[in-house]
């Protein structure tokens, strides 16, 4: 397959993925916008107005949590798009359309991950727009903001694909988001600075990879972070390399998709 053919195949997978989540926008695009609007109202405005700004590096509470909430919606949507799309393709058998074709595994991977990233960033953009109703956003480091968001989206889209490869039922694709992803996100500094925690829990928090992503993104927008931006980016890149290698290996061996 020539490089041009491979690009055609990649474009096809991306169009297919975007059409898939666009057709069901009421399930995929609308809910995060509504959920995040509620977060902004309840945590940001109502409860947030009572929180001392010394706990949030001098920013109002809503300003402090906006980056984390945008990041949370990007993480969730990037992950869930790939896990549900790839698992559905497995379940209905139409993953075979790709497996019989000459499309290389790297293109299949990039295509599915790309679909997750597009949805994640689209939802992130919508949530950002919603946040503008509640706060003014003055982005301190635009490039770092975009690159952190993009790389985090890639990371979780790849993780979603690995989950889908191993999933044997629809229960299996919801277990990780509910029991792993949500706790990691909530404990990853979305709603608080880890400086508020005891030294032990501060150290424990450093094991949570989501902490680096939320703080990297917060640094991009607000210019403040619990973690160095370089460490954040390095951690994200390392995770991407590891997860992409695992996903490629699984696809190449046909785990869960070829007998």
Binding site for another protein (CB under 8 A): 1-2, 4-6, 8-9, 11-13, 15-16, 19, 23, 88-89, 92-94, 96-104, 254, 258-259
Residues 220 and 99: their CA atoms lie apart, in Å, by 40
Nearer to another protein, 16 or 45 (CB): 16
CB of 17 to another protein, least distance (A): 10
**CB–CB of 95/257 below 8 Å?**
yes
Residues 83 and 256: their CA atoms lie apart, in Å, by 13
CB of 94 to another protein, least distance (A): 5
CB of 102 to another protein, least distance (A): 4
Nearer to another protein, 9 or 161 (CB): 9
CB of 160 to another protein, least distance (A): 18
Residues 105 and 247: their CA atoms lie apart, in Å, by 10
Nearer to another protein, 53 or 101 (CB): 101
Torsion 165-166-168-169 (CA) sign:
negative
In the chain, what is the greatest distance between 2 CA atoms, to the nearest angstrom? Answer: 61
User: What is the b/e burial string over 122-137, where b = at least 16 CB atoms within 10 angstroms of the residue's CB?
Assistant: bbbebbbebbeebbee
Comparing CA positions, the residue from 148, 18, 1, 143 lying closest to residue 74 is 148
Residues 81 and 149: their CA atoms lie apart, in Å, by 16
Residues 125 and 128: their CA atoms lie apart, in Å, by 5
CB of 258 to another protein, least distance (A): 5
Nearer to another protein, 99 or 231 (CB): 99
Nearer to another protein, 195 or 253 (CB): 253
């Amino acid at each position: 397959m020539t490089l041009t053919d491979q690009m055609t195949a990649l474009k096809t997978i991306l169009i297919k993925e975007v059409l898939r989540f666009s057709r069901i926008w009421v399930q995929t695009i609308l809910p995060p916008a509504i959920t995040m609007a509620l977060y902004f109202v309840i945590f940001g405005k109502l409860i947030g107005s009572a929180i001392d700004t010394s706990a949030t590096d001098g920013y109002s509470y809503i300003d402090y949590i906006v980056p984390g909430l945008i990041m949370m919606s990007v993480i969730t949507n990037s992950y869930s798009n790939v896990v549900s799309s790839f698992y559905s393709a497995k379940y209905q058998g139409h993953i075979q359309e790709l497996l019989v074709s000459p499309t290389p595994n790297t293109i299949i991977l990039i295509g599915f991950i790309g679909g997750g990233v597009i949805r994640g960033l689209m939802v992130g953009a919508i949530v950002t727009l919603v946040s503008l109703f509640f706060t003014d956003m003055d982005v301190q480091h635009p490039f770092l903001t975009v690159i952190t968001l993009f790389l985090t989206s890639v990371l979780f889209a790849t993780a979603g694909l690995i989950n889908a490869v191993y999933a044997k039922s629809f229960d299996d694709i919801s277990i990780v988001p509910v029991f792993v992803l949500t706790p990691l996100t909530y404990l990853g500094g979305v709603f608080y600075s880890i400086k508020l925690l005891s030294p032990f829990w501060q150290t424990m928090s450093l094991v949570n990879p989501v902490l680096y992503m939320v703080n990297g993104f917060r640094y991009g927008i607000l210019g403040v972070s619990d973690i160095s931006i370089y460490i954040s980016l390095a951690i994200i890149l390392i995770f991407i390399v590891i997860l992409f290698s695992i996903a490629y290996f699984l696809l190449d061996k046909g785990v869960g998709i070829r007998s």
